[in-house]
C-alpha cells in the first residue's frame, strides 16, 4: 500500500467507522470489496485468470481492512468488536472493471477497494 493510500485510509476509515457505528442497528454488514483488473500475466485461460485475480483482490481488501482496523485512534480501538463483527473483506476479482471513455479496460482504476454498506 502506498504512503498516499495509507494517509487516505487514516483519514477516511475512522470517520466511516464512526458513522456506521451510529447506525449499527440498521446495518447488516460493511463490505470491504477488493477488485482487480482482468489481466493476469502468463495465464491465457479466462476462468483461471478470474480465480487468480480473486485471490489478489481478496488480499487487497484484507490489507485495507487490516490497516484501518489496526489504526491507533480512539474511534477504532473503542469499536474493535463492532469492526470484527460488521466489517468483512471480499475479493471480487474483475467482476466490475472500470472502463475508459473508449470502452477499453482501465487496468489501473480497476484495481481498487470499495466500501459497501449493506442494510438489514
pLDDT tens per residue, range 14-51: 999 999 999 999 999 999 999 998 888 888 888 998 88
Is residue 55 over pLDDT 90?
Answer: yes
- Residue 120 to residue 55: CA distance in whole angstroms: 28
Angstrom distance (rounded) from CA 35 to CA 79 = 26
Specify if 115 maps to a domain: no
Whether 103 is covered by a domain: the verdict is yes
The CATH number for 22's domain is 3.30.1330
Q: Which three cell numbers stand for residue 60?
A: 487487497
CA distance 114 to 4: 16
Q: Is the pTM of this model over 0.85?
A: yes
Considering only CA atoms, which of 25, 27, 57 is closest in space to residue 39? 57
pLDDT of 53 > 90? The answer is no
Task: Identify the pLDDT of residue 104.
Answer: 93
How many domains are there within the chain?
A: 1
* Residue 101 resides in a domain: yes
Q: How many residues belong to the chain? A: 120
Single out the residue of 53, 51, 72, 65 nearest to residue 114, CA to CA: 65
15 falls within a domain: yes
Q: What residues make up the domain containing 33? A: 3-109
Is residue 20 situated within a structural domain?
yes
Per-residue buried b or exposed e for 19-50, using 16+ beta carbons within 10 Å of the residue's own CB: ebeeeeeebebbbbbbbbbeebeeeeeeeebb
- State residue 87's pLDDT score: 97
Q: Is residue 116 part of a domain?
A: no
User: Is 54 part of a structural domain of the chain?
Assistant: yes
Percent share of the chain, pLDDT over 70: 100
Amino acid at each position: 500500500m502506498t504512503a498516499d493510500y495509507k494517509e487516505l485510509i487514516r483519514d477516511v476509515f475512522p470517520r466511516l467507522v464512526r458513522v456506521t457505528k451510529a447506525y449499527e442497528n440498521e446495518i447488516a454488514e460493511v463490505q470491504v470489496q477488493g477488485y482487480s483488473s482482468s489481466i493476469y500475466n502468463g495465464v491465457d485461460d479466462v476462468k483461471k485468470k478470474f480465480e487468480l485475480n480473486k485471490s489478489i483482490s481478496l488480499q487487497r481488501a484484507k490489507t485495507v481492512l487490516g490497516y484501518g482496523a489496526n489504526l491507533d485512534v480512539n474511534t477504532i480501538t473503542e469499536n474493535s468488536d463492532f469492526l470484527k463483527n460488521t466489517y468483512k473483506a471480499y475479493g471480487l476479482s474483475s467482476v466490475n472493471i472500470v472502463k475508459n471513455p473508449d470502452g477499453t479496460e482501465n487496468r489501473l482504476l480497476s484495481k481498487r477497494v470499495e466500501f459497501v454498506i449493506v442494510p438489514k
